[in-house]
């Protein structure tokens, strides 16, 4: 397989970027036929941008607009342009904290994935591990799903479970879920890279 056959990924994140780090490691260690072409963030100094740079990938901060929850039209357009410029085929949300708008959804139908730290449809939204503890769940986990116009509401692709321990703190449960994320997301990307399950 030549380098040109690799699935071209664009990654969006707002935080530390531990999922992106795990993805880079898996692409290399497991020879997954995919490559990260660009890393974009709505947070100027986000760790995920540093991780992208340390892997010599093009990174860019995109001013997101005034709303803390959404991208404004201009920022969505900027992100869309940056993804198209790198001919991105699959968009990976890795801790991106804003709702994706209509322009990006239309540009990448069933080609935008997200990872969420719960067994969806349980506990969408923020701090899902705390929601799991408050609900008294004995099993928690993470979900990779397609992104739609809602919050953590798109079709589920894959899930991984972790046990909730009787004496779990939010921090301990969150760390266990993140560890599961770092295995699950690369597995899903591997599947997409090898099987290209795209409609068009």
Q: Given the rule CB under 6 A, which residues bind ligand GRF?
A: 13, 15-19, 48, 94-95, 115-117, 178, 181
Query: What's the closest the beta carbon of residue 86 comes to ligand GRF, in angstroms?
Result: 20
- The C-alpha atoms of residue 156 and residue 190 are separated, in whole angstroms, by 16
Cα–Cα distance list, 185 to 23, 24, 63, 192 (Å) = 7, 11, 27, 11
Nearest residue to ligand GRF, by Cβ distance, number only: 95
- The encoded tokens of residue 162 equal 């972790």
Query: What's the closest the beta carbon of residue 5 comes to ligand GRF, in angstroms?
Result: 27
- The C-alpha atoms of residue 34 and residue 159 are separated, in whole angstroms, by 21
Query: What's the closest the beta carbon of residue 40 comes to ligand GRF, in angstroms?
Result: 13
- Closest to ligand GRF by CB, 127 or 196: 127
- Closest to ligand GRF by CB, 22 or 83: 22
- The C-alpha atoms of residue 150 and residue 148 are separated, in whole angstroms, by 6
- The encoded tokens of residue 44 equal 């100027």
- Closest to ligand GRF by CB, 6 or 16: 16
Catalytic residue numbers, as ranges: 116
Query: What's the closest the beta carbon of residue 11 comes to ligand GRF, in angstroms?
Result: 10
Query: Hunting for tokens 């803390």 — which residue is that?
Result: 68
Taking the CA of residue 90 as centre, how many other CA atoms within 13 Å lie in the half-sphere pointing to its CB? 26
């Amino acid at each position: 397989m030549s380098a040109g056959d690799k699935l071209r990924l664009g990654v969006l994140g707002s935080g530390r970027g531990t999922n992106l780090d795990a993805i880079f490691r898996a692409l290399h260690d497991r020879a997954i036929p995919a490559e990260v072409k660009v890393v974009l963030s709505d947070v100027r100094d986000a760790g995920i941008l540093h991780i992208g740079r340390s892997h010599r990938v093009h990174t860019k901060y995109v001013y997101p607009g005034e709303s803390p929850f959404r991208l404004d039209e201009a920022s969505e357009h900027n992100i869309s342009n940056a993804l198209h410029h790198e001919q991105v085929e699959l968009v990976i949300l890795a801790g991106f904290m804003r709702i994706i708008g209509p322009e990006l959804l239309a540009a990448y139908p069933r080609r935008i994935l997200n990872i969420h730290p719960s067994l969806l449809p349980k506990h969408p939204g923020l701090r899902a591990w705390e929601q799991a503890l408050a609900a008294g769940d004995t099993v928690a986990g993470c979900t990779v799903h397609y992104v739609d116009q809602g919050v953590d509401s798109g079709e589920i692709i894959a899930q991984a479970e972790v046990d909730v321990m009787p004496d779990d703190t939010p921090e301990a449960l969150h760390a266990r879920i993140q560890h599961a994320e770092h295995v699950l997301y690369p597995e899903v990307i591997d599947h997409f890279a090898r099987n290209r399950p795209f409609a068009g």
